[in-house]
Amino acid sequence: MKHSVVSNAAWMMSEKVVSVFGVIFVTSYVAKSFGPSVFGQIAFSASIFSIVQTIAIFGTETILFKSISKNTAKGIRLMAVAKQLRMALLLLMSLPVLAWVWLMMRENFLVFAVASFLSAIFVTQDIFSVYNNARLESRMNTVANATGMIISFAISFAIAWFKLSPLLLSLSIVAVTLVPYLIKRATFYQENSLSPPSKRKHRSYLRYLFHAGLPLAISSVFISIQVKLAQFFLVGVGSAHELGLFTAANTLAASWIFIPVAIITSCFSEIFRERADVALKLAGRLNGYVAAVSLLILAVIAVFGEKLVSMLYGHDYIAAGNLVTLLSLATCFSAMGTVAYRYMVKEGGFNYLLVKIVLLVALSVVTNWFFIRTWGLSGAAWSVLATEVLSLTLMNYFFKNGVILKMQLSSLNYKTYK
């Protein structure tokens, strides 16, 4: 890999080191202090607005990344339109959700839901992260995000340490996105401007975002729903306590995915610019790197996962220890699936991705319902694993005469790495 790619990936990973530190030492301490029920309430509110947030982003992350990688000036003009579109969609989706939470859920859920809504505003308006990533300037994202996380973790830790009301954790939920947004926005405007294009071009860009973004948006929404289905079924069939256990296990099991994602994001800036044959070889090589890193971390989790859950979260979360290895294996397949997903975007596979994800969600509903009703918590983990395996393999192999299978097989060939 090129030095700029390696450097960019290193910066992205260094940001997540702070996140993992917070997950391991602060989030676990907060979860231990307030118990699985409060932890489950926060997780449920965050899950709802992660879906709303995904709808509001409308697939523009990938579109902007691709556009900026090819033409920075056009990409910036597109950013201005995307920013307005995101805000409109976020408000349209959030108000009914907040009304539903207010009418149907207990007070704690409403407070955490409002905090998650405010946090989602800053995430959807943060179009500057994708600009920095596409320009291989992730250092700024790292500094901004790390600052936000440190402040957020400090607030959470103080609330738990002084045994204050758990509702004050809403401040932490907002701070983790507000602070990075303000830093990245200020830095971007020091060197660039973000003026909306003329009315004629604005309509043209908006049509482009709708045309290219709609399949990606629907796909992203269904991906978000598919990831959260186990949590929703646990709330319906079980309780907030069980959701807290599953969330603790899944948080630890997925805490390392930032490593392959950083490598993937940095490498695809080059892959998007290459012709088909070169891009296929580069994607195969990348898939091999991601697989090697993922399997190495999986081995560590398999040996120490249960001990980590017990040590970090305490006796109340001991039942979550059995889930960590299964969910980490699912994370391995998810990491490699990201390579396939981005390559399919490069090849214009928007409609294929849409159909694939709709089918995958339908299958996930069935497996979650059956597995969770039959095996409870462990069934939730097995359902996540089953859908990730199918998503990476069979459901990708009908795209363009099996090009994803060819890419994956090429990663097993030593010549790919020459």
pLDDT at residue 275, as a whole number: 80
Calpha distance 167→108 (Å, rounded) = 7
**Phi, psi dihedrals of residue 164, rounded to the nearest 5°:** -80, 180
Distance CA 288, CA 140 (A): 28
pLDDT of residue 288: 94
Q: How far apart are alpha carbons 327 and 386 in whole angstroms? A: 10
Confidence of residue 62 (pLDDT cuts 50, 70, 90): confident
Range of the domain at 283: 3-417
CA 412/CA 44 separation, integer angstroms: 40
- State the Cα angle at 17 between 264 and 117, rounded to 5°: 80
Residue 1 pLDDT:
57
171-191: pLDDT as tens digits: 999 999 999 999 999 999 998
**Side chain identity at residue 302, one-letter code:** A
- C-alpha to C-alpha distance for 337 and 161, rounded to whole angstroms: 40
Structure tokens at 278: 């070169």
Q: How many domains does the chain fold into?
A: 1
For the chain, percent of residues with pLDDT exceeding 90? 37
223-256 pLDDT, tens digit per residue, is 667 667 777 787 766 666 777 788 888 888 888 8
pLDDT at 165: 92
Q: How far apart are alpha carbons 405 and 411 in whole angstroms?
A: 10
* Backbone φ, ψ for residue 163 (5° rounding): 55, 45
φ, ψ of residue 306 to 5 degrees: the values are -65, -40
What CA–CA distance (Å, rounded) separates 17 from 225?
A: 27
| CA pseudo-torsion sign 112, 118, 121, 122 | negative
Can you give the pLDDT at residue 389? 95
pLDDT confidence band for 193 (50 / 70 / 90): confident
The per-residue pLDDT for 407 is 93
| Section 210-223 average pLDDT | 74
Coil, strand, or helix at residue 348? coil
111-115, 196-200, 357-361: the lowest-pLDDT one: 196-200
Average pLDDT over residues 393-415: 91
pLDDT of residue 16: 63
